[in-house]
Amino acid sequence: MLQEAEITITVQDEEQAQVQVAFERLMQAFKMPLTPADERIMRDAFDLARNAHIEQRRKSGEPYILHPIEVARICVEEIGLGPTAAACALLHDVVEDTSISLDEIREQFGDRVARIVEGLTKLDEMKDKESPQAENISKVLKAMLFDVRVVLIKMADRLHNLRTINSMAPSKQRKISAETSTIYAPLAHRLGLNAVKTEFQDICLKISHPEEYHDIAEQLAQTKRARKEYIDIFTEPLQKSLKEVDIDARITGRPKSIYSIWNKIRSKNVPFEDIYDLFAIRIIIKTPPGAEERLLCWHVYMIVTDQYKPIPERLKDWVTNPKANGYESLHTTVIGPEGRYVEVQIRSERMDEIAERGFAAHWKYKGAMTLSSRANTFDNWLAQVRETLETNDSASAVEFLADFQSELFAEGVHVFTPKGEMKVLPDGATALDFAFNIHSDVGCTCQAVKVNSKLVPIGYLLQNGDQVQVITNKNQKPSEDWLKIVRSSKAKTRIRAALKEEKRNQADLGKETLERKLKGYRVPVEENADMLAKHFGYPNRLEFLSAISLGQVDFAGLKSFKADGNKLVLIEIPRVAEVSESIAVDPATRLRGKVSDRTPQIIINDESGMYHAYTFATCCNPVQGDAIFAYITTNQGVKIHRMTCPNADYLLANYSYRVLKASWGNTVKSEFVANLLVTGIDIGPGVINQLTNCISALGLNIRSFSISADGGYFEGKIALIVSNTDQLNRTMMVLKEFEWVSNVMRQE
């Protein structure tokens, strides 16, 4: 017993030493020495968090306090935040996971720290909500309007959770990666946190598509030496030319992220070997923030294009017009040695820091004379988020998040008012979006629009440089069709609010009609409206009463009711006794009787799928052997989806409480449909014959086959009947062996 106690004490001492080292590493991450007051706040926050989490451990088994310490370090070292944000990061899980209250935080650290910690604390009692995740993200965004550090700390928290995600169960990993891909990565992009966004995307790809991730990583490793040699050859004359004109700059060459390469392979339908821009050359000019920054960028551009032939259509000037997330840089693609295309990015040190650290770096340079109103993109964006949230009372959290997400990755389109004022809207915005951008009332009363003095439909897609004039009519009202026209979250939110207000007015009229109908029963509307709405097939009282005002409800159905006090009850109709079966049949037995021997068995939440009315989702067509999950639909039972389904991220991120674990049970001779996309060189007659003969030789049936050819290139879409993923993968490998086939992909 004594020996066990000594071992326990030794482990505790080692862990305490590990915690102390982690905290000291955090303190050393600050670039500037802390004031005595800031150092005291840091140490007080650390002591409180360490004592509060003393009994808690992470899934990996390590002391829980290491997580908030590492989150705080990421905030300081990788995002560039200060001691107040670091203290809040140390405390971010204290209120949620321990007995410490928000009032205690407020008393010891003040109101600002308490409000930031409150914004980072998940909402309680969310089970009855449509989507707990969406509700929590909405809460974080609202807290962000008070202090943007809330969302930056949330980014650091998610980043550390992803870095240590291996200790989680695979199903939990997939849910977290889906939520990150659909919410956190776009938000990091919008905040200008490029390094964080890139790491989010790479880790999520590693979880959702592990084989493809490792294939690309391996091929990048194999070509690393050749890339370095090429970069040295490419940059040598540039270094010399820059030195000759006394421009102090550093040149780096870095590979594109694995996610970026994977995305190009998928979108362009080409193999890894055909991706020409696996790396980018970055020229970072060392110059103080000032008016000369842009001139120097263009000077360097001329040096690059004097040395290498540029491709004019690939010039992107984000120095003159920064991206919507504040990104400033000059991009061009040139033809380098050996005729290879090389992307070159030119920027100043200030631009580079803002590109990597986004919002945090923005505040560092906010007072610089170079920043005109055009560059205050973060302030403008926060103002848009604030306005959207303030008018969001009518929409659900899921609707708001869907609208909000659609704008996060979108770049801006620059248009002008008749007086020459520039407005930036998301790509794909319409003339109606412009009207709502001017003012909600202008949008709601928009009757027509003129673009460049010409009358156009309100659904006209805006182009850079358009001058837009809105014609209003006070009698005009928004319609449901407008939701299909607009792109911006502000417009969608305001239209929904107007439609709901209109519906409330209709419901008031419907209520008066229902009161007259129920007068003969002598029962009040309030106590019966919800029950009647359900009886007549409406989702809620508002929809039911609105339908009454529009004359869409047949009141003949009221004859089925009678009054019982203040409530209506259905009149019972006597039924003729039915002859029942003499032998009781167990429900599971009945289910088993319906399952064919050729039907693949699914294990759902560690029990036989026969207890669930499951079907295979047609959006991704799972094949036996695919990684899968089960999703409980509202009215179609349980659907089995592939983990790589195009809808997987959305379902896992917004409705994880409806997602169940699923795996394949018995292996049977079953038939599944798998869709392939085959591309290559059109060698003339015989392409179809060779492809179909090859598939037939493998013993497979073709459900459908379509092929098109143009300019020496062909694209074939083949739907095959296969038994499992092994058979499918072998088919893809065999088809790739044809010299004239460039790529074979499974379509999602």
Burial level of 446, CB count in 10 A (0-12/13-18/19+)? buried
Spatial CB neighbours of 60, under 8 Å, sequence gap ≥ 6: 164, 167
Residue 127: the pLDDT is: 42
Total-model pTM: 0.69
Cα–Cα distance measured from residue 628 to residue 633, given in angstroms and rounded to the nearest whole number = 16
Catalytic residue among 96, 236, 274, 515: 96
CB atoms within 10 A of CB 517: 14
Topology (CATH) of 377-477: Ubiquitin-like (UB roll) (3.10.20)
15-211: CATH superfamily: Hypothetical protein af1432 (1.10.3210.10)
Spatial contact of 23 and 44, defined as CB atoms under 8 Å apart:
no
Spatial contact of 156 and 75, defined as CB atoms under 8 Å apart:
yes
- The secondary element (H helix, E strand) that includes residue 321 is none
| SS3 assignment for 615-656 | EECCCCCCCCCCCEEEEECCCCCEEEEECCCCCHHHHHHHCH
Collect contacts of 455-459 with beta carbons under 8 A, ≥24 apart. Answer: 456/431, 457/431, 458/430, 458/431, 458/432, 458/482, 458/485, 459/430, 459/431, 459/432, 459/485
**Quick one: pLDDT band at residue 589, thresholds 50, 70, 90?**
very low
Residue range 304-342, pLDDT digits in tens: 999 999 998 889 998 887 877 778 899 999 999 988 889
Residue 5 has pLDDT above 70, yes or no: no
Residue 213: the pLDDT is: 92
Residue 384 has pLDDT above 60, yes or no: yes
Residue 683: the pLDDT is: 82
Domain boundaries, the chain: 15-211, 216-369, 377-477, 498-555, 587-664, 672-746
Select from 740, 621, 728, 747 the least CA-distant residue to 691. Answer: 740
216-369: CATH superfamily: Beta Polymerase, domain 2 (3.30.460.10)
718 or 404, greater pLDDT = 718
**Quick one: pLDDT band at residue 81, thresholds 50, 70, 90?**
confident
Which two tokens mark 128? Answer: 């009855």
Find where tokens 């969310």 sit: 126
Residue 24: the pLDDT is: 92
Residue 516 has pLDDT above 80, yes or no: yes
Mean pLDDT of the chain: 81
Residue 27 has pLDDT above 70, yes or no: yes
681 or 668, greater pLDDT = 681
The dotted CATH code for 672-746 is 3.30.70.260
Min mean pLDDT across 18-22, 438-442, 657-661 is at 657-661
Q: Is 96 a catalytic residue?
A: yes
Catalytic residue among 38, 39, 62, 97: 97
Residue 152 has pLDDT above 70, yes or no: yes
Going through 133-248 in order, the beta strands assigned E by DSSP cover: none
**Quick one: pLDDT band at residue 681, thresholds 50, 70, 90?**
confident
Residue 499: the pLDDT is: 84
Min mean pLDDT across 16-30, 129-143, 557-571 is at 129-143
Q: Is 543 a catalytic residue?
A: no
Residue 118 has pLDDT above 80, yes or no: yes
Residue 191: the pLDDT is: 80
Select from 110, 54, 58, 103 the least CA-distant residue to 87. Answer: 110
Min mean pLDDT across 35-49, 282-296, 573-587 is at 573-587
Cα–Cα distance measured from residue 297 to residue 661, given in angstroms and rounded to the nearest whole number = 53
Residue 669 has pLDDT above 80, yes or no: no
Mean pLDDT of 50-57: 89
Burial state string for 336-370 with b = 16 or more CB within 10 A and e = fewer than 16: beeeeebbbbbbbbbbbbbbbbbbbbbeeeeeeeb
Residue 405: the pLDDT is: 60
Residue 412 has pLDDT above 90, yes or no: no
Mean pLDDT of 571-596: 44
Min mean pLDDT across 31-40, 73-82, 275-284, 563-572 is at 563-572
Residue 68 has pLDDT above 90, yes or no: yes
Residue 301 has pLDDT above 90, yes or no: yes
Q: Calculate what percentage of the chain has a pLDDT beyond 70.
A: 84
Residue range 686-710, pLDDT digits in tens: 888 889 888 888 888 888 898 888 8
Select from 70, 229, 97, 91 the least CA-distant residue to 162. Answer: 70
Min mean pLDDT across 54-63, 362-371, 414-423, 523-532 is at 362-371
C-alpha to C-alpha distances, 439 to 260, 458, 501, nearest whole angstrom: 38, 16, 18
Q: Calculate what percentage of the chain has a pLDDT beyond 90.
A: 22
Most confidently modeled range among 3-7, 404-408, 569-573: 569-573
Residue 235: the pLDDT is: 92
